[in-house]
Structure 1
């Protein structure tokens, strides 16, 4: 996925389990909220989750970063209430 603008958001968690829960919660959103001007990928490396947001222009990049930041916050909240 090549676009003119890109940012990578990295979220580090105290355990691999917590990172997996957040990553798994985000996975269904990949491709679902992409549009003609932006897209994102999510990957996990042990206890870190990375969200790569790419966009054709800075307005779309900002919108993508805001959307994914909110999705991560919700996933963190849900995973925290799950016992960790």
Structure 2
């Protein structure tokens, strides 16, 4: 991820167990680098029962788009995990 981006936010998602957080983080892993573009990038990390998505961007429009995209990806990862009985 480029360190010189002008804007940054960290989205943090807490889960009841480390296992659940790991499942969500693992589901997000393949998306890293795939939806980045010239104006924004993201990184995913996990610390115990928390998953963090750091979004950086050159401008606020790109930051908002990145936040929206990653929020939806997290939501999908959570729903898929629940349907698969992984809760």
What TM-score, normalized by structure 1, do the two folds share? 0.97
2:81 corresponding residue in structure 1: 79
User: What is the number of residues matched between the two proteins?
Assistant: 84
2:23 corresponding residue in structure 1: 21
4+ residue segments displaced more than 2 Å: none
Q: Which structure 1 segments of 5+ residues have no match?
A: none
How much is the aligned-residue C-alpha RMSD, in angstroms? 0.6
What TM-score, normalized by structure 2, do the two folds share? 0.94
Q: Which structure 2 segments of 5+ residues have no match?
A: none
Counterpart of 1:50 (choices 52, 66, 70) is 52
Cα distance between partner residues in 2 of 1:62 and 1:47: 26
